[in-house]
Amino acid sequence: MNKTKILALVLVLALAVCAFAACGGNDQNAANQGGATSKGAASDTLIMGTEASFPPFEYIDDNAQVAGFDIELSNMIADAAGKKLQVENMDFGGLVAALQSGKIDFVAAGMTVTDEKKKNVDFSEPYFTSRQVIVVPADSAIASKDDLLGKIVAVQEGTTGEEMVREFKETDNGEPMDNTASFKNNADVAMEVINGRADAFVLDEEPAKAIVAQNEGKLKILDVEFGNENYAVAVKKGNTELLNIINGVIADIKANGTYDEMIAEYFPDRAEVGAEDAADVTDEADVPGTPADGEAADGTEAE
């Protein structure tokens, strides 16, 4: 074979290698671009994000599985979408970012509807109304909200409770008074108080009840509150298809009695209230992040 033919053959092989590499690169770029959409959106799986230290909404059961009210609701959502449910347990503070990046399809985590959150996610219709409560050691002299000034208060990072406590304790007669201590999950928050490293913690009422019951004789809930709030399911901005499915499920279970059965199972002391009142939307002026008439909308964080 002469040198001219050899050179031509080398050029052909080189072009073929370049073309193959380009195709591979394009495939990889397409895959990277596809990362903006969750894996579940293009498969038979719907991925739900939560933080499983918020009983009875989400918790780890005796079989080391994530269970609770929100999990049951999420399974119904997945069924309505014709998909299987995959639960991703992660830090509460990272749920919105995971939703925006497409790692998860929706969030069900006792998440509070706020104006601040509405800038980053779309919310379903509310499915539960709660309130923030103060939990202290059983022998504590703390008896009111004002007694928290100057005290160490433990809260879960990224929650409405954290935001409310920090706002309340920001100043006292013009002097900084914020001794708030933030933690990744509610188990750590409770242990700070039980072990005497914090004077109180502020948390949503239902998980607070569960924690107090698990630590009988060590903790008590004060008969005071920081405010009311509404829980809803969050989806990525603009995901109206999934949002419509979620709203349809919430409407259906309230209409057919399933919601009342879930309330009776997970919240026995609310069973007599029924779906209409248990999930009733609180007056707007009382909901964190929802302005009263004439006020600016500035919102707070969630859970």
pLDDT band at 1 (very low <50, low <70, confident <90, very high): low
Q: Of the candidates 48, 83, 84, which has an alpha carbon nearest to the alpha carbon of residue 69? A: 48
- Please tell me the predicted confidence (pLDDT) of residue 224: 86
- CATH classification code of 131-229: 3.40.190.10
CA separation for the pair 65, 48 (Å, rounded): 14
Digit-coded pLDDT (tens) for 84-143:
999 999 999 899 999 999 999 999 999 999 998 999 999 999 999 999 999 999 999 999
Per-residue confidence (pLDDT) for residue 107, from 0 to 100 = 98
Mean pLDDT to the nearest integer, 18-42: 40
Kindly report, as residue ranges, where domains of CATH 3.40.190.10 are found in the chain: 40-129+230-286, 131-229
Indicate if the pLDDT at residue 144 is higher than 50. Answer: yes
Condensed to tens digits (0 to 9), the pLDDT of residues 183-195 reads 988 889 999 999 9
Side-chain-side CA neighbours of residue 122 (13 Å) = 13
For 230-247, the pLDDT digits (tens) are 999 999 999 999 999 999
Percentage of the residues of the chain whose pLDDT score is greater than 90 = 59
pTM: 0.71
Class level of CATH domain 40-129+230-286: alpha beta
Measured from the Cβ of residue 85, the count of other Cβ atoms closer than 10 Å reads 18
